[in-house]
Structure 1
Amino acid sequence: MIGIIDYGMGNLFSVSKALERLDIPYVIGDRPSKLENCHGYILPGVGAFPDAMKALHEHQFIDFIRRKVDEGVPLYGICLGMQLLFEESEEGGTTAGLGLFPGKIRRFTGRDQQGVPYKVPHMGWNRLKIHQPEQPILFEVEEEFVYFVHSYVVQTEDSSLLYATADYHMDVPAIVGRGPLVASQFHPEKSGRAGMQLLENFCKQMSKEHA
């Protein structure tokens, strides 16, 4: 059973429909007590980083998420849900994140290295560049196009986290992970075959962790 963490800032409908297409049982919960015994978790997210951290706190999910990750329970962060896993964000001033990955969230500068302006937000389909194809989460995931919508981007010096990147005037961390904790900047539930394969792989990993 997958628990979808509902803190009021996630696209629960598209995520739940994707799991239904994969025939994966799930439960949506807005408090830890409703999700305590799940075998894995999805942390979706849309909106602003400071609002999301405040909502996680109000729904009592911050310590819950950290505890579950410490216990080795698989967790998948999506879009803003991925960014929340890092140390801090500059969006709306500096806001501390969950601190499960090293790195910070910065706004796209809007200009490339030659000073040529580019569009922010990064919105649309971009091709994945896979760096760690041996990772189980990337089984049968090719260097395909996936769907991004974001104005802020992860900056980390820990290259071991980078399972895949995408090129948008810079190398954008697209899939990051460490052990059972994995996340994607793009929306897998809206990213066609590649996205559905990622979700399926996560569910299979979850099953192995709790076999």
Structure 2
Amino acid sequence: MVRWEPAAKERLQAAALELFSTRGFEQTTAAEIAQSVGLSERTFFRHFADKREVLFYGQELFVQVFLDAVEGAPRDAATPDVIARVLRAVSQFFPDDRRAASRVRQAVIEQNPALRERESHKLAGLGTVLAEALRSRGMDEPAATLAAESTTTVFTLAFAQWLRPGENRPLTEITSAVLGELQNLIAPSATSL
């Protein structure tokens, strides 16, 4: 008879992060993750394709936040307003109670070249999907790609600051500051090449 295990996925994720951070990603097996929370390896694989997926689970929800913010923007909104709306939405996706786990996750990723590559690929894919959403709104090229890549870069820089030891500002505040830096860089007073 199969036992129902409440919150198994969340328990597996928490255990995996703990083991990855203390023992290392490569040194931790899926079986060890499952055993550490009293589950079977089979249960682990019912929830995750492999141990990397523990770190990247929820990526589609993350991307959807970006897309929903673009779709929810008024049709006549200026591009900077759409970008600000997207950044505000994705920043709210990471409330302060997620910071500790996000720091651990990022530290694990930074210690493994294959995981760093996957994280970079995830962000590149995000830029592509976001550019397509902006084009669907009627934005021409290269503006759509520039807006998408700029949005992704602002988020990436803000997120890295949010994860720094000792940082306690909300991600929304940091993201707003980084966006302000970008806006200052490309102020209307900039000269042509």
Larger radius of gyration between Structure 1 and Structure 2: 2
Query: Which structure dedicates a bigger proportion of its chain to strand?
Result: 1
Whichever structure has more helix as a proportion of its residues is 2
Q: TM-score, normalised by structure 1?
A: 0.23
